[in-house]
Structure 1
Amino acid sequence: MNPATEAHHLTLRAGLQPIWTIYERPTDYPNGFIARLFVHGPGIFGPSLETVKGAKLQEVRDGLPEGLFCMPRFPEDDPKIVEVWI
């Protein structure tokens, strides 16, 4: 099991909702794409330390856990956000 999948399953087992947000060239990773695991639950929402990085978007998508649903970015989202997977 890859680290992203393991972190995803640990989040679910804790009763929390894992949400993966993919960014293109954010300030702290300017040379490619990065997915960050956000954790959502009662009274909590924020990023974890778990990431998936790649030079190409498909590399990052391939590193995410299987069985997720892709949501396109909303117009009001940060322009660096490509998509969100839940």
Structure 2
Amino acid sequence: MNLHYRLGWPLGRFLARWGVPTTIRLDINHDEEANVFVGTSTDLPGLRVEASTYEDAAREATLRVPDLLRAAGVCRQDAPADFERSL
């Protein structure tokens, strides 16, 4: 059984620093007016991406997550940028 803890839940950042597998919820919505997909996350403040397709928005968010985690102090500056992604 593979347990994960949401980064946005209480103690999420603390547990992530100790190596507990952590998930980040990404919300992607279509902005009809601008005709773009917008990705945000309440678990990781500062994560906001815009792209022309859903897949591109998910891909762009995936690329930005490691830097935002480092900036938030959730992981070490020298931590590898590899992590699992599931949609």
TM-score by length of 2: 0.42
Q: Which structure is larger by alpha-carbon Rg, 1 or 2?
A: 2
Q: Which has the higher helix share?
A: 2
TM-score by length of 1: 0.42
